[in-house]
Chain A
Amino acid sequence: MNQYKNKIKSFIKNRYSHANYHDSKFFKDFKNFRNDFKKELETKPTKNVHNKKDVTYFELREFFETKKYNQERIEQFYKKFEVNFRLKEKYNKNNKLLSKKETSYQSYIYLGHLILKLKKIDVFQKLNIILKILDKLSVDTKKYIFYDKFLLLKLLEIEEKLIKQIYKNG
């Protein structure tokens, strides 16, 4: 039984406080869970559907595709996600909420990539949010068809690379 798979929903529900990670198989289960996620992604077809009112999605996509990394705005999204574990469809320039609806899950994939460009956070903060984004994306299997597989698999690769980098530097 994969313990990580069993615990992931409670991790998210409790916002990662009081998380038990002392199990000797913790890393192994985590790795297996991520590998299963990758395999599952590869079997799913892809649908490219987006809500035109989802301003957050289009904003993040634009930053990513044009490589114009608005540090301040990405920082705002970073903070919002770390506090609430979700982003909404629309915020104003002062980051005040203008919509109650959650943004597309694809937005989080862009956010994961954009985080890497932030100058005011270190590698541990970057890995921390990527881990949380990938947990969120892996839990809801119905959403898999809406993901950009290429970018998501790339993000999974980055996650693995960062974990190895931190582990080796120990």
Chain B
Amino acid sequence: MDNSISIIISNNLRSLEYLNVFIKLKKEPNKVIYIDDNKNKLTRKKIIKILYIKKNFKNKKKFISKKFSPLIIEYLLRDKEKNFVLSLPHGEIIKNHKLLKNKNLIHFHPGRLPLFRGATSIYYSLLRKKEICCSTIIMSANLDGGNLLFHKQFIFPKKVKDIDNKYDIEIRKICLEYLIKNLKKLKPKPQKSINKLHYYLAHPVIRKLAVLKIKA
């Protein structure tokens, strides 16, 4: 893959932390695309501070939109940049085939792929394999089925409660850091084909059973 990297962010903690990774590594993303839905006021304030008050990144484009709109898709398709790290608003899934085909949309998935496709896979991974893993993939039309860049395995969080949010962001940040440092060397590989269905949002009892594995 070529060494250039851009990022698409929204008003969530994950986006804020991704920006901090770039700052920490003193790496300038080729472009920052900011989807501002005016939600999560506190996080939004911090993102605006980084982008527009401290003027951290030169090349940025802001869209005022509640979702990943056709306007944004059109803009991305016209853009010369190829590699985009994604941190979209909650629940947003990219279905535009042209975009998925023409751009490398990079996603960090907290679960070993292809085994743990779908939602809240971090809990299912703990239950089935007693491991926490994050896979970095290039998104495709097949949900969590795109070409694989790398896996990383992680130790369990010190505070069990962190697994729901803080730790999830933490492991993705580590993957982003690795991606930035090694992008040139990475070669996307197709995932092995498996005949299993996706995981869906884990019920709280499933989550509780999973975190008991950490304590055990």
Contact = CB atoms under 8 A, between A and B. Distances in A.
A44 to B, nearest CB: 25
B203 interface: yes
A8 to B, nearest CB: 10
Interface of A: 11, 15-22, 26-27, 30, 75, 78-79, 82-83, 118, 120-122, 124-125, 127-129, 131-132, 135, 163, 166-167, 170
B163 to A, nearest CB: 10
Contact of B206 (A17, A121, A127, A170): A127
A127 B209 CA distance: 11
Contacts, number: 72
Do most interface residues of chain B lie in helix, strand or loop, or is the interface mixed? helix
Do most interface residues of chain A lie in helix, strand or loop, or is the interface mixed? helix
18 contacts: A16-B203, A19-B204, A21-B204, A22-B160, A22-B211, A78-B197, A120-B195, A120-B197, A121-B197, A124-B124, A124-B127, A124-B128, A125-B199, A128-B199, A128-B203, A135-B203, A170-B213, A170-B216
B205 A125 contact: no
Nearest to A7: B204
Most buried by B among A79, A82, A167: A82
B16 to A, nearest CB: 18
Interface in B198-216: 199-209, 211-213, 216
Nearest to A167: B209
B80 interface: no
A21 B205 contact: yes
B196 interface: yes
Contacts of B204: 11, 16, 19-21, 26
A131 B161 contact: no
A20 B161 CA distance: 9
B209 A166 contact: yes
A121 B194 CA distance: 12
**8 cross-chain pairs, A with B, having the tightest CB-CB distances, nearest first:** A21-B204, A82-B200, A131-B203, A19-B204, A21-B208, A16-B201, A120-B197, A170-B216
B209 A163 contact: yes
A138 to B, nearest CB: 13
Contacts of A19: 203-204, 207
